[in-house]
Structure 1
Amino acid sequence: MLRFFNRVTALILALMVATAAGAQDRPKVVTVNYPLQYFTERLVGDAADVVFPVPTDVDPSFWRPSISDISDVQSADLILLNGAEFATWIDRVSLPRSRVFNSSAAIEDQFIVTESITHSHGDGGEHSHEGLASYVWLDPVLATAQAEAIAAAITTRDIAPVGEVEDRLEQLRTDIAALDQTAADVFADLEAVPMIATHPRYQYLARRYGLTIASMDWEAGEAPNPDQLAELSALQNQLGAEILIWEAAPPAAALEAVEQLGLQNVIFPTLAHEPTEGTFVEAYQKALSDVSDASQSLQN
């Protein structure tokens, strides 16, 4: 009996060691924003650990990684970039070229050049939006192109089995295509309705669905001050705008102040960070539902 017990104990210990070793051997993929993390997790399943290291209270476009953060990124088997000048920190650190992959390299001819808007975000320092619009994933067609590029990068580096990745990519394509169709239906009645966004990050959304979206320069989720509300009112009168798109939900008093100006409020997160509820697709669908409600209110 003692010999049997010893054998069982040895077998359990061996399995524990093998499991721990397997966990340590799993590839690590680092992404510079949540959409890339979401696409990658959908594609690799349990074959790799997918990490998006930016804290939730920091704008990933202008994150300043610590030395420890940089070391963690450098140790990854695959580092997925967004391209279109997103994540300015990558130009200031040394990354292993063989493991860096730009998910939007194949769609650079579709990038949108933006106007110059200089301002600051918290402790991120002053910066300008001049250059390229970088939130390409808000156009589902371009999001699909990014997912397809990531799938190729994953299989080329043997991070996950080719057949499994292809199957998951097909399902992801289907989900994003359905999202695109819903968006087309929702925005169909709004092509002639001028809108204003609280931040200049909706260029690809506007182009995809033929929308007119002017931009303010407000901090995400914060209540506008009286001067900002006055500026919004002036822009509203200039454009005849009827909808205000918020990057993140502000305090209730801010929504009420906008309603008093005669604007419909729409919460449409840019999804650079993981949403507080649901996945990329679910949060995008929720935003479209918010747009649909606003559209119905305008028609009533």
Structure 2
Amino acid sequence: MLKRLAVCLSLVAGVANAQDRPVVATVNYPLAWMAERLGGDALEVLFPVPEGRDPSFWRPGLSKIAAIQQADLIALNGAGFATWTTRTSLPRSRVVDTSAGFSDAYIATQSVTHSHGADGEHSHTGTASYTWLDFAQAAQQAEALAAAMKRRMPELGDQIDAAMPGLVAELTALDAKARDALSALKGTTILATHPRYQYLARAYGLDIASLEWDAGAMPDDAQWQELQDIADQTGAALLIWEATPPDGAMNRASEIGLKSVVFSPLATRPSDGDFVSVMQTQIAVLVE
């Protein structure tokens, strides 16, 4: 009887401890990954974007907004990412804009309106928002996140201090790897199916011309002709897909003379691996 009571008390204590963990809400996978690395098991990370949805333009329902508002810290990407955050009341004292420290280095973009499936019609206006694709900037975002976590969750200070050097070292090594490997592509034009890669291009000296194709959709005849025309004009031989395209799309691109590579910006959680391991693999495939 006493043994059963001890087991029950242990289970109750475990549930209580899980519920007592501080919560960090994030708007994209890179920030979720950073928070997980910094807080370990002592932290609950809330990344509520459903699988298959674009975190840039996804709009949470009322229940998810309520959960985010109650988090101990709300980590934003900044640079216009997650547009819903500008139209929702969030507790200012618990919000950190992780890219604010390099806002003077944001890249301006042209305004283009199109549809993104269930996320509806939207415009790419004002600012390129995939800041973490410059991995040195990603390291700065990790530092901003760590500082905010320590302010809001001082009880995790030792855990964060212990994890931070390793996290920054991984991102610094990834930056160096990208700088070395992608130098092989300098002087050539790369085509991309969607305007996600501005910071990758600037950081690593690449010339990337972007189309406006919806991720996961088969291009229509007019889009294929546009691709043909741009390839002819630029001499491009490489096409980056934001996500795996429908069957036959890569073969069609090959007929135009383009090698296809899927390079996910990792705004959403990958099915395997983590931020660094997936990026390492994608960089290697890009230069094969």
What TM-score results when the alignment is normalised by the length of structure 2? 0.96
Q: Separation in 1 of the partners of 2:56 and 2:75?
A: 14
1:245 corresponds in structure 2 to: 240
Q: Separation in 2 of the partners of 1:212 and 1:233?
A: 18
2:7 corresponds in structure 1 to: 12
Q: Give the percent of matched residue pairs that are identical in Structure 1 and Structure 2.
A: 49
Q: Tell me the alpha carbon deviations over residues 8-33 of structure 1, each in whole angstroms, 9 at most, x when there is no partner.
A: 33333322222221111111111000
Q: Contact (CA 8 Å) 2:238, 2:260: kept in 1 or not? A: yes
2:88 corresponds in structure 1 to: 93
1:120 corresponds in structure 2 to: 115
Deviation at 1:160, TM superposition (A): 5.1
- Which segment is superposed worse, 136-145 or 149-158? 149-158
Instruction: Please tell me whether residue 157 in structure 1 is matched to residue 160 in structure 2.
Output: no
Q: Which one of 27, 31, 50 corresponds to residue 32 of structure 1?
A: 27
Q: Separation in 2 of the partners of 1:170 and 1:97?
A: 28
Q: Contact (CA 8 Å) 2:184, 2:287: kept in 1 or not? A: no
2:256 corresponds in structure 1 to: 261
Q: Separation in 1 of the partners of 2:285 and 2:79?
A: 28
- Secondary structure at 2:41's aligned position in 1? coil
Q: Separation in 2 of the partners of 1:21 and 1:181?
A: 43
Q: Contact (CA 8 Å) 1:28, 1:78: kept in 2 or not? A: yes
Deviation at 1:45, TM superposition (A): 0.5
Q: Separation in 1 of the partners of 2:27 and 2:227?
A: 32
1:177 corresponds in structure 2 to: 172
Q: Tell me the alpha carbon deviations over residues 124-144 of structure 1, each in whole angstroms, 9 at most, x when there is no partner.
A: 232211110000000000000
Q: Which one of 136, 147, 153 corresponds to residue 142 of structure 2?
A: 147
- Secondary structure at 2:140's aligned position in 1? helix
Q: Separation in 1 of the partners of 2:172 and 2:43?
A: 26
Q: Which one of 167, 181, 186 corresponds to residue 181 of structure 2?
A: 186
- Secondary structure at 1:130's aligned position in 2? strand
Q: Could you tell me which amino acid in structure 1 is paired with residue 163 of structure 2? A: R
Instruction: Please tell me whether residue 44 in structure 1 is matched to residue 26 in structure 2.
Output: no
Identify unmatched segments of 5+ residues in structure 2. Answer: none
- Secondary structure at 1:46's aligned position in 2? helix
Q: Separation in 2 of the partners of 1:276 and 1:230?
A: 33
Deviation at 1:173, TM superposition (A): 1.2
Is the alpha carbon distance of 1:65 and 1:147 closer, same or farther for their aligned partners in structure 2, counting shifts above 3 Å?
A: same
- Secondary structure at 1:61's aligned position in 2? coil
Q: Tell me the alpha carbon deviations over residues 225-272 of structure 1, each in whole angstroms, 9 at most, x when there is no partner.
A: 221111001111122212111101113411111111111111110100
Q: Tell me the alpha carbon deviations over residues 53-88 of structure 1, each in whole angstroms, 9 at most, x when there is no partner.
A: 011121111111111111111111111100000001
Q: Could you tell me which amino acid in structure 2 is paired with residue 185 of structure 1? A: D
Q: Separation in 1 of the partners of 2:183 and 2:175?
A: 12
Q: Separation in 1 of the partners of 2:119 and 2:159?
A: 40
- Secondary structure at 2:90's aligned position in 1? coil
- Aligned residue pairs total 288
Identify unmatched segments of 5+ residues in structure 1. Answer: 1-5, 294-300
Q: Could you tell me which amino acid in structure 2 is paired with residue 186 of structure 1? A: A
Q: Contact (CA 8 Å) 1:140, 1:176: kept in 2 or not? A: yes
Larger Rg computed on CA atoms: 1
Instruction: Please tell me whether residue 107 in structure 1 is matched to residue 102 in structure 2.
Output: yes
Deviation at 1:201, TM superposition (A): 0.7
Q: Could you tell me which amino acid in structure 1 is paired with residue 148 of structure 2? A: A
Deviation at 1:89, TM superposition (A): 0.6
Q: Contact (CA 8 Å) 1:48, 1:159: kept in 2 or not? A: no
Deviation at 1:159, TM superposition (A): 5.6
Q: CA RMSD in A?
A: 1.3
Instruction: Please tell me whether residue 227 in structure 1 is matched to residue 227 in structure 2.
Output: no
- Secondary structure at 1:85's aligned position in 2? coil
1:288 corresponds in structure 2 to: 283
Q: Tell me the alpha carbon deviations over residues 161-190 of structure 1, each in whole angstroms, 9 at most, x when there is no partner.
A: 323212211111111122112211221121
- Secondary structure at 1:208's aligned position in 2? helix
